[in-house]
Chain A
Amino acid sequence: MKGMSMKLVLRDAGIGIALLLLIVFFSLSTEHFLTPNNISNILTQITINLILAIGMTFVILIGGIDLSVGSMLAFCAVVAGTVLTIPDLSVFVAVGLATLAAIGTGVVCGFLNGWISAFWGLPSFIVTLGMLNIARGAALQVTDARTIYSFPQSFNAFGSQMVFGVPVVFLIALALVAVAWFVLSKTVFGRLLYGIGNNEEAVRLAGHSLMVYKVAAFTIAGALVGIAAMVYMARLNIASPIIGIGFELNAIAAVIIGGTSLSGGRGTVIGTLLGACIIGVLANGLILFGLSDFMRQMITGVVIILAVIIDKYRERITAA
């Protein structure tokens, strides 16, 4: 695998350089960008998108797409929020159960996404488009469209905890990146996900059940949505059925900017981490730079397209 991982390292290095250039630019052009406070702000701001994007990486690697993560985030959050506000539970038990509920909800939705698309051979684009509506509707139904709040104080405080100026929630996301990297690059499971993304039929004819791996990828994405939901609640101390609208697009953007191919089989979770950082740095830096909201949105769009164009060239260079 040496040659392949070398290429991947080079690929990630390119994105890393782009990120570095952005950081240098904003550091020079704005006063507050490179301050400890602002950096921990950025890290907090990218955490949720990063966690969602890790799951999205698994799905995109097998050539799928998950449009339902934003809605699922809301659904997971309101289910967990309901559990978390059950009266007379000790904080420890309540948070534990809520986490289980959030991840469990995500796992069920993700499993359905994967199973339905694999079993009936449907494009995941369509299936998760369905789930986008189902999960949103379910979140509204469960809460009767109301916002859930008044979580335990210590839980609320956890969301803004810092360790040496680094938000704890970001460290959680980083740990998830590490786990995902390990799974994708060191395990048989990861190998087969890449295999399926590159040539599904060859993997099937080598005696592997595509169903198992496809379902697993979507389920993992679902579980990560559950974790992201808990982080959301800890950070903002509410669980509302209308949160997370459009989050799937941000997650997809992070994955694509991170160099993962939308057609599957190519990309790393380290790239995704860098992609999420680029989006976060841009959002933050452009505000500090004093750019209007509309310009900001345009530039983010330009960056997404640029990333894909650059990736095309990189592909040509590495293929030669």
Chain B
Amino acid sequence: MKLFTAASILALSLATALPTVAFAADKPVVGLVMKSLANDFFKNMLEGAEAHAKKRGDYELKAIGMQNETDFESQLNGVENFITQGVDAIVIAPADSRAMVAPLKKAMDAGITVVNFDVSLDEQAKKDAGIDLAFVGPDNRGGAKMVGEALAKALGEGGKVVILEGNPGADNAAQRKLGFEDAIAAGKLNLLDSRTAHWETEEANSVFSTMLTAHPDIQGVMAANDSMAIGVVKALDAAGRSDIKVVGFDNVSAVAPLLKDGKLLATVDQFGSQMAADAIDKALEVVAGGPKLEGWIKTNIELVTKDNVK
């Protein structure tokens, strides 16, 4: 479905409609490359960035997004367009940790400051391309470990769990899975099965129902995002199993009632709305002549449970 760039066109028109001063002003221009704007998480992030741009008022924000999680093409085109437009900085949440390296190298060669956030680019790919690029972002693995440990604590040693993975090949999916596995090892949990549901509610519902049939003794579920956690909770409702504990990731607004009811034990908030804004701040520092960024600049993450849900 990568042909369809409707969402990115939508986002572009949205970006141009922003109440900013004309290009002629010598404010630095920041190109923000987002992932799927159909996802609450990135939607919030974009809004956070827009609010941030308004508040600071000393730079111009241009944003693009993509149709869905696997639509690499529109990101690629977006980066190339930004290079052509000669923006001062590109701030990007890459759709794929390898595919985006080459176009970003092109941007850096063109003298554009590039800041990578949300998902880290692949180290090896960066090395192969001969670029050194800092990463501003949350620790997906750490977050997953955090929420996984919350589950481990609730279940105790030997608890039987399954994992619902994100899209195979996506870096954050892989990191979260690793984090879950860290928690499983640390908490001495017993992993029964791990399958992808492609981040999707309906598929998670179906896949999990079937896993539950295969392993009726499941005690806990680790879902790599909240959309899938919602599907799992529904499957448990349908099966009449209130004894199984579920954890998710992202803290989307739709899980608030589930946390309050205790149907979802915990999720992780990455403060997405701030993440883009933070990355933009870092980029502007460099544009203004600040030192080059290095390594991994971790952003804040927080465990959300019944006790602190809003």
- A interface residues, Cβ below 8 angstroms from B: 30-32, 35, 37-38, 41, 44-45, 48, 132-133, 136-137, 140-141, 144-147, 149-150, 159-160, 232, 235-238, 240-246, 283-284, 287-288, 290, 293-294
Q: Hey, what's the 0/1 contact readout for B183-217 against A, CB within 8 Å counting as 1?
A: 00000000000011000111001110111011010
Q: Closest Cβ of chain B: how far from A175's Cβ, in Å?
A: 21
- B interface residues, Cβ below 8 angstroms from A: 1, 4, 6-7, 10, 36-40, 43, 67-68, 168, 195-196, 200-202, 205-207, 209-211, 213-214, 216, 227, 230-231, 234, 237-239, 252-254, 257
**B214 engages A44 (CB within 8 Å):** no
**B213 engages A147 (CB within 8 Å):** no
Instruction: Considering the complex, give the chain B residue whose CB is closest to the CB of A41.
Output: B209
Instruction: Considering the complex, give the chain B residue whose CB is closest to the CB of A132.
Output: B4
**A140 engages B38 (CB within 8 Å):** yes
**B168 engages A294 (CB within 8 Å):** yes
Residues of B within 8 A of A159 (CB): 234, 238
**B210 engages A137 (CB within 8 Å):** no
Cβ-defined partner of B168 (8 Å) among A32, A242, A293: A293
CA distance A141 to B38 in the complex (A): 10
CA distance A277 to B216 in the complex (A): 23
Chain B contact residues: over half helix, strand or loop, or mixed?
helix
Cβ-defined partner of B214 (8 Å) among A32, A48, A141: A32
- Could you jot down 20 A-B contacts, CB within 8 Å? A30-B214, A37-B213, A37-B239, A38-B210, A44-B238, A45-B205, A133-B6, A136-B4, A140-B38, A145-B37, A159-B238, A235-B238, A236-B205, A237-B234, A240-B227, A242-B38, A246-B1, A288-B214, A293-B168, A293-B195
Residues of B within 8 A of A137 (CB): 6-7, 10
**B7 engages A44 (CB within 8 Å):** no
Q: Closest Cβ of chain B: how far from A125's Cβ, in Å?
A: 14
CA distance A225 to B125 in the complex (A): 44
Residues of B within 8 A of A140 (CB): 7, 10, 37-38
For the complex of A and B, the 8 pairs showing the least CB-CB separation, nearest first, are: A160-B238, A242-B38, A38-B213, A149-B254, A287-B210, A45-B206, A41-B209, A145-B43
**B210 engages A288 (CB within 8 Å):** yes
Residues of A within 8 A of B38 (CB): 136, 140, 145, 241-242
CA distance A232 to B202 in the complex (A): 8
Residues of B within 8 A of A232 (CB): 202
Instruction: Considering the complex, give the chain B residue whose CB is closest to the CB of A150.
Output: B257
Q: Closest Cβ of chain A: how far from B67's Cβ, in Å?
A: 8
**B234 engages A160 (CB within 8 Å):** yes
Do A236 and B39 contact each other (CB < 8 Å), given the known contacts A41-B209, A160-B237, A288-B210? Answer: no
Residues of B within 8 A of A242 (CB): 36, 38-39, 68
Q: Closest Cβ of chain A: how far from B185's Cβ, in Å?
A: 22
Q: Closest Cβ of chain B: how far from A41's Cβ, in Å?
A: 4
Instruction: Considering the complex, give the chain A residue whose CB is closest to the CB of B215.
Output: A32
Cβ-defined partner of B213 (8 Å) among A41, A48, A133, A241: A41
Residues of A within 8 A of B205 (CB): 45, 235-236
Do A236 and B195 contact each other (CB < 8 Å), given the known contacts A146-B43, A146-B253? Answer: no
Which residue of B37, B205, B209, B227 has the most chain A CB atoms within 10 A of its CB atom?
A: B209
**B195 engages A288 (CB within 8 Å):** no
Cβ-defined partner of B207 (8 Å) among A30, A146, A244, A287: A287
